[in-house]
Amino acid sequence: MSNLSTVIQLHPNVKAALIHPERFMEVRGWLKGNALIAQQWKGNDGETMMHWAFLSNWVLAAELKEIGLTYDATDNFGRTPMDWVNDRMWYAVVEDNTNGQLSAGGKERLRRHSEQQVEYLWAQGARPSFSARFIHPGVVWMRAGSWGLLNLLKDDEQYSWFHWAPHGGHALHSWVLSPNTPQRRDFLKNWDEEFPVDLGDNNNRSALWYAVDAWLARPEWQKDLMAVVKELIAVHANPSLKDDEGVSPIGLLEKALEEGAEERHKIEALLTVLKTHENTSYYEDMPELDQNELNLLDVIDTQTKPTEDPFNVGQKED
């Protein structure tokens, strides 16, 4: 995002108020006598005042619309005001790219504020840009734990829960890296009632394939990803289902052992459990995880999840 700077100069107090949501009433007061400036103002990135209003307050955004600004205005990079909200949520909440300027409580308040903005403005017709160059809004909301926003996409013909990434990843693929909350388990239950849990991406890689791959690649994520694996097995995800290259989740683990991976006892423990559940289809009855298997899985370290993106789902294309 740009700094507030323009050929049409804004008073410093207006600039300061515009980027602080709690001061939106000051901007509304200024707007009454400066509608023409508000209409014509452009920032360094070619954004309109509407872009900043989306980060501030939906009432201010609605008043800017009344004087002629639009919810689908784009900046020099093709980003709409809704894209700005999603960008802020991605970099501040998901990636935690704030240089320590936001506490955990601050990030939670920002996430909730963004959710309120999106919910109201979506109902008024505002939308993100539909472009593969930007992070899909579903990926942002899923990874941020904004579960209530996901139904906006499900019910929208243009967005839906599918094709969230260039490689064809869908909502359940992003779900693998979502926050470990009761809402995460509720989402999986709802998905399982409507769609196959083994539904793959363009390479026929399932959510379980993603989870095992990330578990191998990121030891510091293992505790949370192990919970994901357990939840997927519980809804009959197939660990022997192969992708287009002939590799299954079980195959990923076997390959890691062949290549001399460290902490073999962990990989062997997970492999033992997955092999108990291999060669079963989604529709067949499958044995539940027994206590011995749960004990094996509990050998996983208790590390916390970092902020990197091992699937590169947030990678913007040139």
For 212-227, write each residue's pLDDT tens digit: 999 999 888 888 899 9
How would you write 180-223 as a 3-class SS string?
A: CCHHHHHHHHHHHHHCCCCCCCCCCCCHHHHHHHHHHHCHHHHH
The CA distance from 308 to 303, in Å, is 14
Q: At what angle do helices 207-217 and 222-234 cross, to 10 degrees?
A: 160
Please choose, from the candidates 141, 181, 138, 132, the residue with its C-alpha nearest in 3D space to the C-alpha of residue 161. Answer: 138
Q: What DSSP state is assigned to residue 78?
A: S
Q: What DSSP state is assigned to residue 155?
A: T
Please choose, from the candidates 56, 41, 35, 59, the residue with its C-alpha nearest in 3D space to the C-alpha of residue 5. Answer: 41
Residue 12 above 70 pLDDT?
no
Q: What DSSP state is assigned to residue 169?
A: -
For 291-317, write each residue's pLDDT tens digit: 555 555 555 544 333 334 333 433 444
Q: How far is CA 180 from the centre of its chain?
A: 13
For 91-113, write each residue's pLDDT tens digit: 999 988 887 788 889 889 999 99
pTM of the predicted model as reported, rounded to 2 decimal places: 0.80
Q: What is the pLDDT of residue 17?
A: 60
Residues with Cβ within 8 Å of residue 71, at least 6 apart in sequence: 50, 61, 65, 80, 81, 82, 121, 124, 125, 126, 127
Looking at residue 184, its amino acid is: R
For 158-175, write each residue's pLDDT tens digit: 888 998 988 899 999 999
Please choose, from the candidates 226, 285, 217, the residue with its C-alpha nearest in 3D space to the C-alpha of residue 256. Answer: 217
By the 8 A CB rule, do 299 and 269 touch? Answer: yes
- Please state the φ and ψ torsions of residue 253, each to the nearest 5 degrees: -70, -40
Q: What DSSP state is assigned to residue 304?
A: P
Predicted confidence band of residue 27 (pLDDT cuts 50, 70, 90) = confident
Domains of the chain and CATH, by start: 172-308 (1.25.40)
DSSP notation for 92-141: IIIS--STT-S-HHHHHHHHHHHHHHHHHHHHTT------TTS--HHHHH
| Cα radius of gyration (the chain) | 23
The CA distance from 227 to 25, in Å, is 45
Q: What DSSP state is assigned to residue 91?
A: I
